[in-house]
């Protein structure tokens, strides 16, 4: 979306954006304009997009914004809600914009946790650009894509954005729970939603917490995925998607699950058990290795490292997901909202306290440690590393006064939003993501519970065991070889003991024969930097290795960034190579910084 009083310049910009706005083929592209503004977008043919062009302005909504009763909001209703400067925010995965021409107002908002990406830039003289990707700003003659070193350092440290700072100077990402407001030449963010931070359920027993969670989740699934239409379901075989499958089946929703991997993979075995138990048609596929190179180009171009560079496979999944239905239910961030895994990261059993220092190693696990990063950068920017670390701590301490809420909200606004939630936007170009946990009631119910109930997914596990005991007795995916059911029977415990012994024997035999163990956790293969798919990504990035920004010490980077033919030895093929992948992405992104 563009606000620009120069009509000829705005029209030329909108026309240019229209020609480049679609990140994949076969999307509908639209352009609408009014006095001083234009809006351009690309969406799947069945995507929920609504436009209202009443007198004196216009409004758009991309996605399914729902009120507390589940009623879908139209562009006209959102325009009415935001009229005269009012602020409101809704449930679901969406973004919306409304213009009031006479008052020179623009309001832009997105889902509760900012999963839907919204970026903005202004020249401070009345030109305002708003988009789901900074890539579209490049087409405006007043914008020059210049490196933002502070944003770069934040990405390298945390594998996400810190304080809204992106890779490009003066381009910011909208903060979760806020709306973007434009009035004349003024541009600012305004609070629209805040998680209620009151432990109102602290006096209830644990069973009462599980009951409240059940009632909230059941109602949310019913509101966000009403019966009467088919849905795809991303089913990994883990806890989040299993719970969703249970609730959807309970309300007789028409669902067709999809699992990525091969038949012998851990995830496939677990997911297949769920679909068999629920009597569902099970779709399966893999991300082809030959699709990685093109997907990497898309990721570098459209996301500009906002969530690092692990998400290459997600940009190659659209065809498989789009074949299911025009809506797909996704359990992403479910564990972050009600699972409480973040609490254990912030807790120090030695001191009995929670705090940022204990949480920090987990925050930095997907990026570079500060002292390691300093060895890769010129001395002049070492102070920026320290400054970004201070900003991270300020963000942690600024979200709440209680350490419980600090750990929860910080995780939602960082790891869940970027590392997990970034997979959602690419999906939307194939089938619209339905996310029942982007919901104010679910957030409020989770916020009312003490750490003792939601830590380590305690309440979430109890919810599955209580509501869907049959599913709790099935093997469950934990991104590891441990698939012991949450409600194991004696035979399950006996089988695990036997399997441990069998695996030990197989390991000895393979060692004698010099054979490597076949990887049966698809999640590990998907992100293995030595896999054929990732080797193709390394090949297309290799020519730009020596064209990284001048802030890098290239000789030091070359000791970390592997050559195309070099085998990377790691313990965890996912986490341990995350920072290296970000450097690969930086090589591809820097090429776009230099190209006008």
**d(Cα 356, Cα 390) in Å, to the nearest integer?**
11
For 493, what's the count of Cα atoms within 13 Å in the CB-facing half-sphere?
4
**d(Cα 58, Cα 3) in Å, to the nearest integer?**
13
Number of compact structural domains in the chain: 1
Q: Is residue 515 part of a domain?
A: yes
- Listed as ranges, residues in the chain with pLDDT below 70 are 84-85, 500-517, 592, 594-596
Q: What stretches of 123-211 adopt beta strand conformation (E)?
A: 128-131, 172-173, 178-183, 186-191
Q: Is residue 173 part of a domain?
A: no
Predicted local confidence at residue 150, as pLDDT: 97
The per-residue b/e assignment along 467-504, b for 16 or more CB within 10 angstroms, e otherwise, is bbeebbbbbbbbeeeebebbbeeeebeeebeeeeeeee
Q: Is residue 586 part of a domain?
A: yes
Instruction: Say how many Å lie between the first and final Cα of the chain, rounded.
Output: 20
Please write the tens of the pLDDT for every residue from 456-482. 999 999 999 999 999 999 999 998 889
DSSP classification of residue 290: G
Q: Within 10 Å of residue 217's Cβ, how many Cβ atoms?
A: 27
Please write the tens of the pLDDT for every residue from 47-66. 999 999 877 889 999 999 99
Predicted local confidence at residue 595, as pLDDT: 37
Candidates 299, 336, 525, 278; CA nearest to 425 is 299
- Length reported for the chain: 596
Query: What is the residue range of 568's domain?
Result: 503-594
**Spacing of C-alpha 32 from chain mean position:** 29
Neighbour-count burial of 55, counting CB atoms closer than 10 A to its CB (0-12 exposed, 13-18 middle, 19+ buried): exposed
Predicted local confidence at residue 203, as pLDDT: 94
Predicted local confidence at residue 493, as pLDDT: 81
**d(Cα 127, Cα 2) in Å, to the nearest integer?**
7
Candidates 562, 569, 568; CA nearest to 587 is 562
**d(Cα 594, Cα 596) in Å, to the nearest integer?**
6
Predicted local confidence at residue 104, as pLDDT: 80
**d(Cα 238, Cα 330) in Å, to the nearest integer?**
12
Q: Is residue 1 part of a domain?
A: no
Q: Is residue 545 part of a domain?
A: yes
Which residue in the block uniquely carries the two structure tokens 């930095």? 364
The per-residue b/e assignment along 164-189, b for 16 or more CB within 10 angstroms, e otherwise, is bbbbbebbbbbebbbbbbbeeeebeb
**d(Cα 255, Cα 258) in Å, to the nearest integer?**
10
Predicted local confidence at residue 546, as pLDDT: 86
Angle (CA) 565 307 457, round 5°: 110
**d(Cα 179, Cα 493) in Å, to the nearest integer?**
51
DSSP β-ladder status, 119-122 and 128-131 = antiparallel
**3-state percent breakdown (helix, strand, coil) of the chain, nearest 5:** 45, 15, 35
Q: Within 10 Å of residue 507's Cβ, how many Cβ atoms?
A: 11
Helix (H), strand (E) at residue 41? strand 37-43
Contact 438, 92 (CB under 8 A): yes
Predicted local confidence at residue 35, as pLDDT: 92
Residue 63, beta-bridge partner list: 94
Contact 346, 354 (CB under 8 A): yes
**d(Cα 113, Cα 108) in Å, to the nearest integer?**
14
Contact 112, 89 (CB under 8 A): yes
Predicted local confidence at residue 504, as pLDDT: 63
Q: Is residue 526 part of a domain?
A: yes
Q: Is residue 231 part of a domain?
A: no
Token pair, residue 146, equals: 């210049």
Candidates 538, 525, 592; CA nearest to 565 is 538
* CA-CA-CA-CA dihedral for 350, 351, 354, 357, to nearest 10: -80
Q: At what angle do helices 403-411 and 440-447 cross, to 10 degrees?
A: 150
**d(Cα 40, Cα 55) in Å, to the nearest integer?**
19
Query: What is the DSSP annotation of 380-430?
Result: GGHHHHHHHHHHHHHHHHHS-SSHHHHHHHHHIIIIIIIIIGGGHHHHTTT
Q: Is residue 552 part of a domain?
A: yes
Contacts of 105 (CB under 8 A, 6+ apart): 57, 85, 98, 99, 181, 182, 183
Quick one: how many helices (H) and strands (E) in the chain? 24, 20
Which residue in the block uniquely carries the two structure tokens 């093109």? 294
Sign of the CA dihedral with 66 first, then 71, 76, and 77 last: negative
**d(Cα 18, Cα 511) in Å, to the nearest integer?**
57
Q: Within 10 Å of residue 124's Cβ, how many Cβ atoms?
A: 10
Whole-number mean pLDDT of the chain?
93
**d(Cα 61, Cα 530) in Å, to the nearest integer?**
41
* Total-model pTM: 0.95
């Amino acid at each position: 979306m563009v606000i620009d009083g120069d009509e000829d310049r705005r029209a030329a910009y909108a026309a240019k954006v229209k020609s480049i706005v679609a990140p994949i083929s076969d999307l509908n592209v639209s352009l609408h304009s009014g006095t001083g503004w234009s809006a351009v977008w690309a969406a799947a043919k069945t995507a929920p997009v609504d436009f209202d062009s009443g007198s004196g302005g216009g409004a758009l909504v991309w996605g399914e914004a729902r009120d507390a009763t589940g009623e879908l909001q139209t562009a006209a209703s959102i325009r009415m809600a935001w009229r005269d400067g009012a602020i409101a925010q809704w449930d679901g995965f969406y973004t919306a914009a409304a213009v009031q021409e006479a008052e020179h107002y623009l309001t832009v908002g997105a889902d509760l946790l900012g999963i839907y990406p919204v970026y903005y830039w202004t020249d401070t003289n009345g030109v305002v650009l708003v988009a789901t990707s900074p890539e579209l700003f490049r087409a405006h003659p007043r914008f020059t894509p210049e490196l933002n070193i502070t944003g770069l350092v934040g990405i390298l440290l945390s594998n996400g954005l810190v304080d809204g700072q992106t890779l490009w100077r003066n381009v910011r990402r909208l903060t979760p729970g806020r709306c973007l407001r434009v009035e004349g030449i003024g541009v600012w963010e305004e609070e629209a939603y805040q998680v209620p931070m009151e432990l109102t359920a602290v006096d209830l027993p644990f069973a009462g917490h599980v009951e409240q969670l059940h009632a909230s989740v059941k109602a949310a699934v019913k509101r966000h995925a009403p019966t009467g239409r088919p849905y795809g379901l991303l089913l990994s075989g883990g806890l989040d998607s299993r719970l969703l499958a249970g609730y959807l089946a309970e309300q007789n929703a028409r669902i067709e699950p999809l699992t990525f991997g091969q038949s012998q993979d851990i995830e496939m075995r677990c997911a297949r058990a769920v679909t068999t138990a629920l009597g569902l048609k099970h779709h399966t596929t893999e991300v082809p290795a030959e699709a990685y190179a093109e997907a990497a180009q898309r990721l570098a171009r459209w996301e500009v490292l906002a969530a690092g560079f692990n998400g290459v496979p997600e940009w190659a999944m659209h065809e498989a997901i789009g074949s299911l239905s025009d809506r797909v239910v996704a359990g992403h961030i479910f564990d972050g909202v009600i699972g409480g895994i973040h609490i254990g990261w912030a807790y120090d059993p030695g001191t009995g306290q929670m705090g940022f220092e204990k949480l920090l190693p987990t925050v930095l696990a997907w990026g570079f440690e500060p002292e390691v990063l300093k060895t890769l950068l010129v001395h002049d920017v070492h102070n920026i590393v320290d400054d970004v670390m201070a900003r991270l701590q300020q963000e942690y301490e600024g979200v709440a006064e209680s350490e419980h809420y600090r750990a929860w909200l910080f995780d939602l606004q960082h790891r869940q939003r970027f590392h997990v939630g970034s997979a959602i936007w690419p999906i939307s170009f194939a089938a619209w993501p339905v996310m029942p946990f982007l919901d104010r009631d679910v957030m409020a119910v989770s916020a009312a519970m003490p750490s003792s109930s939601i830590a380590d997914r305690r309440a979430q596990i109890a919810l599955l065991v209580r509501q869907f005991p049959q599913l709790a007795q099935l093997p469950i995916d934990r991104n590891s070889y441990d698939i012991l059911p949450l409600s194991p029977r004696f035979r399950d415990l006996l089988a695990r003991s036997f399997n441990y012994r069998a695996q030990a024997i197989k390991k000895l035999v393979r060692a004698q024969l010099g054979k490597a163990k076949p990887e049966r956790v698809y999640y590990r293969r998907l992100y293995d930097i030595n896999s054929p798919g990732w080797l193709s990504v390394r090949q297309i990035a290799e020519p730009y290795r020596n064209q990284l920004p001048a802030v890098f010490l290239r000789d030091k980077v070359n000791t970390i960034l592997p050559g195309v033919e070099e085998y990377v030895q790691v313990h965890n093929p996912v986490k341990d190579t995350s920072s290296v992948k970000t450097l690969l992405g930086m090589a591809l992104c820097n090429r776009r910084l230099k190209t006008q």
